[in-house]
Chains A and B, each alone.
Chain A
Amino acid sequence: MKLKLTWLMTLFMAFVMQLSFAQEKTVTGTVTSATDGLPLPGVSVIVKGTSRGVQTDFDGNYSIKASTGETLVFTFIGMRKSEKKIGQSSIVNLAMAEDVAALETVVITGYAGATNSSKVTSAIATVSAEAIEQIPINSIDQLLQGQAAGVNVSTGSGQPGQSATVIIRGRSSLNGDIEPLFIIDGVPVDQDNFRSLNQNDIETMSVLKDAAATAVYGNRGSGGVILITTKTGKKGSGIKVQYRSLYGVAINPQTRFDVMNASQFLTFQRDLLPGTQYGDGLSDATIAAIAGQTNTNWEDVFFRQAKTKSHEVTITTGGEQATSFTSVNYYEQEGITIGSDLRRFSFRNNFNVNSADNKLNFSTNLTMNYSVSSFVVDAARGGNTGGQLDNPFIVPYIGLPYLSPYNPDGSINIYGTGPVSGGGSGAFNADGSINADGANGFQNTPFIALNTAAVNTDTESELKIVGRIAADYNFAKNLTVGTSFGLDYTNVESLFINTPSSIRGLITPNPGSELKGSQSESFFRDVNMITNAFVRYDNDITDKLNLNAAVFAEYNYNNRQNAGFFASGLNPALPGSGSGFAPGDLTEGDDNDVYNYIPGVFSSESELALASVFATLAIDYDGRFGFGASIRRDGTSRFVENRDGVFWSVSGRWNIDNEAFMENVDWVSTLKLRGSYGVVGNQTVGSRYQGLQTVNAGSGYQNTNSYALGTLIDPAIQWETSNQANIGLSFGFWQNRLSGELDVYNNNTTDLFQSQPLSAAGTGITAVQANVGDMTNQGVDLQISYNILRKSDSNPWDITLNANGNYNKNEVNSLPGEFTGNTLRNQEGRAAQTWFLPRWAGVNPANGEPLYLDIDGNITNVYDPNNAVYLDKNFDPTYTGGFGADIRYKGFSLNALFAFQADRWKNNSSLAISEDSGLAGFANQSVTMLNAWTTPGQVTAIPALSNGGLRAIDGDRYLEDASFLRLRNVSLSYNVDRKVLEQTKVFTGVRVFVQATNLLTWTKFRGFDPEGTNATTFFDFPVPRTFTLGFDLTF
C-alpha cells in the first residue's frame, strides 16, 4: 500500500515538475533519518519560492535543478521541515529529524482500540515496552511501580513471581476488590497471577483511570482498568529474529535493624534479664569462649546470592497482508533465600491477517506458559502470619547467636543441637535422641527454618493459557461487524510434603503416631471465557464531523474447580508417591483403636457469569471538539434480587491547540482540555453466591455430618457504585519538549460493600455485608516529561527527564456504626485505614516504667485501650509516584526510574518482637535492649526489663513511617553502531546492558523492606536487590 502510494506520488510530482525554468545546475543528495540513519524515500524537495520540486527515491536520493543561493525545502510527514541553502557544492545531503510535536502517540482505549492521543477524552496513562522489558521482576503488575501517575503498586513478598497489589487513585472499596481489572489483548485475566507470563511480550500497558475510559467495563471497572497489548509484527517489515538473554544475581536488601551478637546476648541474659535462662551464671570467660567459637549472624546463613537467567527468541514477520509475532522464553529466578524459586517456560504467537481489500481482519493471540514455583514458609504464603518458626525471615531477628549453623564436619546443620539448658537448641536430648517437642520449639527456630527449606516440599506447577481469536468485517460502507472469543485458563497443581524425617514431620500427623510425615496435593483450575460481538458505524458525516458509534454484546463465564487430598504416614523410601501413604484404616495405640492416618479429600467448584450489552459513541468536530459517551448494562450471576446494573459515562474535549487563534502561538504544540463524568461498578464483593442465603454442609458435633447456616447475607446485595468526575489538561510546549498531563478527580463510591452491624443477641450474627457506606477519593495526577536535550545533526545527546505523581485524599463519608476495625480503622470523616492506638510516651527515668498518654494527652503509667486516639496516620500513602531520566549519547543510553510512596504508616511488629524481653529467654533481641532502664535518672527508650514483655501493651510504639524512595531500576545499555553491524552481515541490532533493580531504598522504616502489603509487618519476605546484565541480538 505504502509502496503504491509512493510510486503514485513520484509519478504525480514528476508530472507537475515538468514545468521548469532555470538551468543553473543539478543538485543531488541523499536524505536519511537522523534517528536511525536509514534512507528516507518519498521526501519532498522543493526549491523555496518556486514550484520546482522532486521526491527522493527508494534509496533516499534526489536530483533537482537549482541555482546557487537558492534554498531547498525538505518536507516529509512526521519529520521536521528543513531548509538548506545551496552553496558551491552541488551535493546537499540531509539527516532529517523527527518532528516530535507532529508525531501523535497512539493510545489504547479499550473497546475502541488504538486511538490518536488528540482524540482521547479520558484519563489514560500509557507505559511502553521500553520501560518494562528485560527487567528481572517477574510479575507484570509489579512492573508498574513508579511508572504512571495515580497507580500505587506494592508487593507483599520477594518470592519470584509474586503478584503486587495495584491501587489506582486510592482505595475505592473497603471490603470489595480494590485492584483494577486486567485485560490482556481483550481477555480479562486473573488480577493476582502473572508469574507465568513473559513481560517482554508486552507492547504497551494502558492504565484507564476515569469513568470515561472504564464505564464501558461496567460492574468490573471501578478500580480502574489496565489494558495490556502484546506485540505484533509490522506490515512490510519482513522477518526479524531476535535473541535476548539476561543473567543476574539478587541479594538481600539493606538490613535496618541490629540484633545482638553472642557475647552481647549472653551477657544481657546474665546481667539484665530477669528470670532463668542459659546466660545466667556464665562467667565472662565462658561467655567469651562461647562467643569466640560461635557468633552466628543468621542473616548470613539465610540469605543467598540468587541467580536469575532468561533466554528468549522472538520472530517477527510482516508481509503485505499478514503479520506475526512469536516468542519463546525460558526464565529462571531464585529467591534470596534457600528454597524459593521460579522456573518458567513461555510461548506466544500473535497473528494478524487482513483481506486484500482491507475489509476483513482476523487475528489470534495465544500464549501458553508453564511455570514451577517453590516456596518458603513466608508471611505471604497461604494462611501464614509470618510468625511461623519455619519462616526464614523470622530467623535474622530471633535466631540465637550462640548457636552454630554448622555440624562438626562443616556441613549445614538442619536439625539443631542438644538440650537448651546446656546452651543447645533443644532438638536433641542429652542422650542424643531427638526431642520432637524441643525440635519444634522456639530455640530451634533457625534449624526448623533450614530444615523445612531443605527437606520439605512446597511447590506449585502452573499451566497458564491466555488466548483470543477475533475477526471483524467491514461489510458495508461505514459499517463493521466483529466477534471475538477469549480464554484465560489457569491450572495449578500444588504439592506439599512434610518429609517423615523433617522436624515438622516429627509431629505430623501427630507426635505420638508411629509413622510420620504428610503429603497434600491439590488441583486447581480456573477458566475464564469471554465472547463478544459488535456492530460499529463510522462515518465522516461532513468533512468536519466524524461519528463513531458501536453496539456490543458480551458474555463472560468463569468456572473454578479445586480438588485435592491429604495423606499422612509416609514411607520415606517412596517419597512423593501414593504407594508410600499409610492406609487410612491403620490403627495404633494400646487398644489398637487409634486412627492416626485418616486421609482427607476435598473437591469444590464455583461459577460466575456476566452477560452484558453496551454501546459507545464518539463524535469529533474538526479536530477541535470531541464528545464521547458509553452505556453498559451488566447482568451478573453474583447477585439475585439486584442483578442488572447500568453504568455510563459522558466525556468531552477541547483541542485548544487546533483553534484558529492558536495558529501563531508556536510554543504551544499541544493543549487539550478534557472532562468526564460517569458511573462505574464493582461487583467483586463477597462470595460468588453473595445473593443467596446458603447453608454449609460440614462436620459438626462428634464429627458427624452437619448443616450450619452459611454467612448471613442481605438478599438485596448489589455492586458498589463509583461516581467519577475527572478534569484534565494535556499539554505540550516547545515542540512538545515539555509535555504532560494534569488531572484532577473526584471519585465517590456509594453503596459500599460494608458490614452492617447487627445485634448478635437478636440475630446471632455480628454483622451482615450490605451496601451501606460512602467514601470519596479526591486527588491530582501529574505526569510530566521534559526533553532537555534533543538529538539532532549537531547534538549527539538526548536527555529526557520525566516524573509522575499522585496526591490522593481519601475520606470515608459514612459508615454504619461510624467505624470498623480495631487498631486500623475505617472511620467516618477520616481516611480509610487510619491508625487508632493508645500513645506510647517513653520510659519514666525515675523507675523505668513504660509511660503512655491518656486520651487528653496527660502522661500516665497505666496502659488502657480506652486511651486510644486517632493518630492522623494512615496505611495508604498520600503521595505516590516516580521520576526518572532517559539519557542517550550515541549508542549509549542510561535509564533510571525512582519510585516513591510517602505519608504511609505501618506497624512494625517484627521489631516489637526483637524488643520484647518476654521472649529474650529464648530469642535473640535487638541491641537496643542493652539500653534497658536500670538506674533511676536514666533516660532511655527501653523500659526496665522487670516490666516483662510489653508487646501486648505497646500502643503506637512501633508505628513507623513506611514512606520510601527507591531506585527502582537503573540500566546502562549500548547499541552497537549500525555501520559496524553492517560489516558483520549477520546482525541488524546488538544491544548490551547492565542493570540494577531496587538498588537503593531510602526509608525510616526499621526492617528489611518498607514496602509490603500488610499494614502490620511481621517478618515479611523482602523484595531483593537484583543486578543483571544481558544482551539483545537482532538478526
Chain B
Amino acid sequence: MKKYLSILTITVAALFVGCSDSLDRFPVDQLVEETAFVTVADLQLGLNGAIGNYSPNQLVAFNSIFTDNAGLGVDNGGQELNTLNQIINADGGDRGLWFTRYGAMNDFNRLFVSASNITPATAEQEQYNNILAQAHAFRALMHYELLLYYGVDMTDPSSAGVPYVDYVSATATPARNTTGEVLVAIQADLDAALSLFPSGFSDINFATPDFITFLRARIALETGDNSGAIGFTNTIIANYPLANATDYLAMFREDANSVEVIWRYDAVQGSNLLDTDSSLNGIWNFTGPGPFIEMSTELANTFSPSDIRGIVNIDPVSTPEEDIYIIGKYPINADTQAINDFKAMRVSEAYLIRAEAYAKTSQFGLAADDVFAVRSIRDGAAALPSYPNIQFALIDILAERRLELAFEGHRYTDIKRMRSVLNTGIERDDADCGGAIPCSVPFNSEKFTFPIPTLEINANANITQAPGY
C-alpha cells in the first residue's frame, strides 16, 4: 500500500504547486492593445479598419427613405417602416449615426495616439504622413456630418453644435461645443491634412487635396459663406469635367466610370449584395430586385423621358404600369453582386453648390448657367432656366439637386437648408403616403434636427437635447 500512498501524495503535491502559473492566457485570435501597434504597417492596418468603420449607407438610406424620394415597396415585410413613417425621437430614427460616427471617430483618434508612439523610418515617412492626413480628413468629415444633422443651426456660430472630439478617453462626457468651435476645429483638421498629403496624392478612393476643397465648399454653403462656396467650387469645376451620357450610364449602371468623381467610398467584393449592412443596394432591396422600399411615384414621374438620370435611377426591371419603380442607382450590375462604389463627391454637385451660392447672392444668371450646365448634359432636351427671384432659383436648384443627387444622401439636408427661404418641409405626393405613412413634415418641425440619442443623454450629463425632443 505504500506505493499507492506515494503516488497519491506526489499527485496531490504536484497539483498544489503546478496550477497557479497557468492562468495567464492570451487570446489566439486577437491582439492585445499594448502590442498591436508597433510599426507603420500596423498603423496602415489601423487606418484600413478606421475607414472601414465609416459608412455612407446610413445617410443614403435616411435621406432617401425619410423624404419624398421613396415609398413603400411591393415586397415590404416591415422593413424600414420607422424611417418611412418618419419616426424620429431620442430612442431611434437617426439610424445610429451618432454612434457610428463617434465610434469611427474613436478609431481615428486611437490611430493618432498609436502613431505618436511610432517613429517612422525615412522610407516610411510618406506613408506615415498620409495615414495621419487621412485621419485628419476623415475626422473633419465626420464632425461636419455630425454638426449637419445634430447641430442646432449651421449658420449660427454661437448655436449648440456637437462635441468636438480629438482625444481618447474611457470616461469623457463632453458637452456640445458651439457650432463655431466645431467649424474652427474642422478647418484645423483640414489644414493639417493638406500639410501632410504626399505631393501629388490623388487616389479618389481616399481623401485628397480636392476632397478637402470639396468638403470646404459644402461647409461654406451650409454655413452661409457663399463667396467661400463659390471660390472652392471654382477650383473643383476647373479640374473635373461633367460626365457625358455614356460616362454617366457607365458610372452608375456598371460602376465603371469616374471622370466626374472627386471622392468615392470604394466598395469591393465582400461589401456586396449578400451583405445588406454594407451594400447600397441592400438598403431597399432583398437579394435581387425585390424591393421593400421603392422610388416614390412622384420622383419617378419627375424624370423627363430623355433624362439619362431617370434611365439610371429607375431600374429596368421596374413595372411603371403597376407603379412599381425599383431604385436602380446601385444595381446588381455586371459583376452580378451589386458592388457599387458610393460616389460621394461629384463635380455636378459642385456646380449646384455654386448655383445656390450665386442665387443666394442674387447672381441669378450665373446660378441659372450652373443649373443648366448640369441639366443639359443629363437631358439634351433641357432649356436654360431663368430666375426672377431667389425663391424661384432655390426651388429650381432644389429640384435639380433632387434629380442629380437622388439616393446619394442629400435630399433631407437640402430641404433642411433651403426651408428658411422656401418655407416648405417634406411634402409627399398622395400616391406615396397615407395610412401609417405620413404625408408631410412641416418646415418648422423639430425633425430637421436629429435628437441626441437617449443612450448618450443617460451616460452624459453634460450634453443637452435638441429643441423639441
Q: Do they bind each other?
A: yes
Q: Which of B247-274 contact A (CB under 8 A)?
A: 266, 268-274
- Asked if A473 lies at the interface with its beta carbon under 8 angstroms from chain B, I say yes
Chain A residues near B270 (CB-CB < 8 A): 699, 703
Closest Cβ of chain A to B468, distance in Å, is 13
Chain B residues near A705 (CB-CB < 8 A): 45, 48
Chain B residues near A636 (CB-CB < 8 A): 23
Complex CA gap A763/B168 in Å reads 7
Complex CA gap A756/B109 in Å reads 22
Question: What total of chain A residues lie within 8 Å of the partner, measured CB to CB?
Answer: 106
- Asked if A303 lies at the interface with its beta carbon under 8 angstroms from chain B, I say no
Prevailing SS type, chain A contact patch = mixed
Contact between chains at A694 and B52 (CB < 8 Å): no
Using A553-B15, A596-B336, A947-B436 as known contacts, say yes or no to A702 and B32 having CB atoms under 8 A apart.
Answer: no
Tell which of B19, B110, B171 touches A709, judged by Cβ atoms closer than 8 Å.
B110
Using A764-B109, A767-B459 as known contacts, say yes or no to A949 and B75 having CB atoms under 8 A apart.
Answer: no
- Asked if A708 lies at the interface with its beta carbon under 8 angstroms from chain B, I say yes
- Asked if A294 lies at the interface with its beta carbon under 8 angstroms from chain B, I say no
Tell which of B24, B25, B77 touches A919, judged by Cβ atoms closer than 8 Å.
B77
In this complex, the interface size class of chain B, counting residues with CB under 8 Å from chain A, is 35 or more
| 7 pairs of residues in contact across A and B, judged by CB atoms under 8 Å | A276-B322, A555-B18, A609-B25, A688-B27, A692-B26, A759-B463, A763-B172
Closest Cβ of chain A to B33, distance in Å, is 4
Interface 1/0 per residue, B260-290 and A, CB below 8 Å? 0000001011111110000000000011111
- Asked if B1 lies at the interface with its beta carbon under 8 angstroms from chain A, I say yes
Contact between chains at A693 and B290 (CB < 8 Å): no
- Asked if A578 lies at the interface with its beta carbon under 8 angstroms from chain B, I say no
Chain B residues near A916 (CB-CB < 8 A): 78
Using A762-B173, A918-B76 as known contacts, say yes or no to A706 and B45 having CB atoms under 8 A apart.
Answer: yes
Q: Give the interface segment out of B5-13, B216-224, B351-359, B371-379.
A: B5-13
Interface 1/0 per residue, B97-116 and A, CB below 8 Å? 01100111111011000000
Interface 1/0 per residue, A433-472 and B, CB below 8 Å? 0001100111000000000000000000000000000011
Q: Give the interface segment out of B85-93, B361-369, B439-447.
A: B85-93
Tell which of A387, A610, A946 touches B435, judged by Cβ atoms closer than 8 Å.
A946
Task: A689-B30, A700-B45, A707-B48 given; name 7 further pairs at CB < 8 Å.
Answer: A507-B287, A553-B15, A693-B32, A702-B205, A763-B169, A918-B78, A946-B435
- Asked if A865 lies at the interface with its beta carbon under 8 angstroms from chain B, I say yes
Q: Which of B51-103 contact A (CB under 8 A)?
A: 51-54, 74-78, 81-82, 85, 87, 89, 91-92, 98-99, 102-103
Tell which of B22, B52, B104, B337 touches A594, judged by Cβ atoms closer than 8 Å.
B337
Tell which of A481, A513, A611, A817 touches B20, judged by Cβ atoms closer than 8 Å.
A611
Contact between chains at B45 and A952 (CB < 8 Å): no
Contact between chains at A759 and B36 (CB < 8 Å): no
Contact between chains at A606 and B99 (CB < 8 Å): no
Q: Which one of B78, B104, B273 has the highest number of Cβ atoms from chain A below 10 Å of its Cβ?
A: B78
Tell which of B87, B170, B174 touches A761, judged by Cβ atoms closer than 8 Å.
B174
Contact between chains at B78 and A949 (CB < 8 Å): yes
Contact between chains at A707 and B287 (CB < 8 Å): no
Contact between chains at B31 and A695 (CB < 8 Å): yes
- Asked if B199 lies at the interface with its beta carbon under 8 angstroms from chain A, I say no
Complex CA gap A683/B51 in Å reads 36
Complex CA gap A31/B34 in Å reads 80
- Asked if A696 lies at the interface with its beta carbon under 8 angstroms from chain B, I say yes
Question: Taking beta carbons and an 8 Å cutoff, which residues of B are in contact with A?
Answer: 1, 4-5, 8-9, 11-12, 15-16, 18-20, 22-34, 36-37, 42, 45-54, 74-78, 81-82, 85, 87, 89, 91-92, 98-99, 102-107, 109-110, 162-163, 165, 168-174, 205, 266, 268-274, 286-290, 322, 332, 334-337, 434-437, 453, 455-456, 458-460, 463
Complex CA gap A353/B104 in Å reads 64
- Asked if A512 lies at the interface with its beta carbon under 8 angstroms from chain B, I say yes
Contact between chains at B287 and A609 (CB < 8 Å): no
Chain A residues near B337 (CB-CB < 8 A): 510, 512, 594, 596
- Asked if A948 lies at the interface with its beta carbon under 8 angstroms from chain B, I say yes
Look across to chain A and name the residue whose beta carbon is closest to the beta carbon of B8: A481
Contact between chains at B102 and A609 (CB < 8 Å): no
Using A481-B8, A589-B334, A950-B436 as known contacts, say yes or no to A758 and B171 having CB atoms under 8 A apart.
Answer: yes
- Asked if A396 lies at the interface with its beta carbon under 8 angstroms from chain B, I say no
Chain A residues near B12 (CB-CB < 8 A): 481, 483, 533-535, 553
Chain A residues near B322 (CB-CB < 8 A): 276
Look across to chain B and name the residue whose beta carbon is closest to the beta carbon of A511: B288
Complex CA gap A589/B268 in Å reads 15
Q: Which of A768-816 contact B (CB under 8 A)?
A: 768
Chain B residues near A704 (CB-CB < 8 A): 45, 48
- Asked if A330 lies at the interface with its beta carbon under 8 angstroms from chain B, I say no
Contact between chains at A700 and B48 (CB < 8 Å): yes
Complex CA gap A916/B78 in Å reads 9
Complex CA gap A866/B454 in Å reads 12
Chain B residues near A761 (CB-CB < 8 A): 98, 102, 162-163, 165, 172, 174, 456, 460, 463
Chain B residues near A483 (CB-CB < 8 A): 8, 11-12, 15
Q: Which of A341-366 contact B (CB under 8 A)?
A: 355, 359-360
- Asked if A605 lies at the interface with its beta carbon under 8 angstroms from chain B, I say yes
- Asked if A128 lies at the interface with its beta carbon under 8 angstroms from chain B, I say no
Using A700-B51, A762-B173, A764-B109 as known contacts, say yes or no to A952 and B82 having CB atoms under 8 A apart.
Answer: yes
Complex CA gap A357/B102 in Å reads 73
Using A511-B332, A948-B435 as known contacts, say yes or no to A712 and B170 having CB atoms under 8 A apart.
Answer: yes
Tell which of B8, B51, B87, B434 touches A482, judged by Cβ atoms closer than 8 Å.
B8
Complex CA gap A606/B460 in Å reads 36
Closest Cβ of chain A to B175, distance in Å, is 9
Tell which of A512, A533, A708 touches B336, judged by Cβ atoms closer than 8 Å.
A512
Chain B residues near A703 (CB-CB < 8 A): 268-271
Look across to chain B and name the residue whose beta carbon is closest to the beta carbon of A274: B435
Contact between chains at A513 and B1 (CB < 8 Å): no
Interface 1/0 per residue, A526-550 and B, CB below 8 Å? 0000011111000000000000000
- Asked if A856 lies at the interface with its beta carbon under 8 angstroms from chain B, I say no
Contact between chains at B106 and A694 (CB < 8 Å): no
Look across to chain A and name the residue whose beta carbon is closest to the beta carbon of B114: A707
Q: Which one of A475, A510, A598 has the highest number of Cβ atoms from chain B below 10 Å of its Cβ?
A: A510
Using A437-B289, A511-B336, A702-B266 as known contacts, say yes or no to A952 and B81 having CB atoms under 8 A apart.
Answer: yes
Using A441-B75, A553-B15, A706-B46 as known contacts, say yes or no to A512 and B52 having CB atoms under 8 A apart.
Answer: no
Closest Cβ of chain B to A413, distance in Å, is 21
Contact between chains at B455 and A757 (CB < 8 Å): yes
Contact between chains at A757 and B32 (CB < 8 Å): no
Contact between chains at B335 and A589 (CB < 8 Å): yes
Closest Cβ of chain B to A661, distance in Å, is 46
Complex CA gap A135/B235 in Å reads 80
- Asked if A15 lies at the interface with its beta carbon under 8 angstroms from chain B, I say no
Contact between chains at A606 and B287 (CB < 8 Å): no
Chain A residues near B75 (CB-CB < 8 A): 441-442, 922
Contact between chains at A510 and B5 (CB < 8 Å): no
Using A693-B32, A697-B31, A709-B107 as known contacts, say yes or no to A759 and B460 having CB atoms under 8 A apart.
Answer: yes
Tell which of A591, A609, A953 touches B436, judged by Cβ atoms closer than 8 Å.
A953
Complex CA gap A896/B31 in Å reads 56
Tell which of B16, B46, B103 touches A707, judged by Cβ atoms closer than 8 Å.
B46
Complex CA gap A760/B99 in Å reads 6
Chain A residues near B42 (CB-CB < 8 A): 707
Contact between chains at B49 and A758 (CB < 8 Å): no
Using A473-B4, A510-B336, A763-B170 as known contacts, say yes or no to A611 and B22 having CB atoms under 8 A apart.
Answer: yes
- 5 tightest A-B CB contacts, nearest first: A512-B336, A764-B106, A762-B172, A700-B52, A611-B19
Chain A residues near B23 (CB-CB < 8 A): 609-611, 635-637, 643
Closest Cβ of chain A to B71, distance in Å, is 12
Chain A residues near B45 (CB-CB < 8 A): 697, 700, 704-707
Look across to chain A and name the residue whose beta carbon is closest to the beta carbon of B435: A948
- Asked if A698 lies at the interface with its beta carbon under 8 angstroms from chain B, I say yes
Contact between chains at A763 and B171 (CB < 8 Å): yes
Chain B residues near A763 (CB-CB < 8 A): 106, 169-172
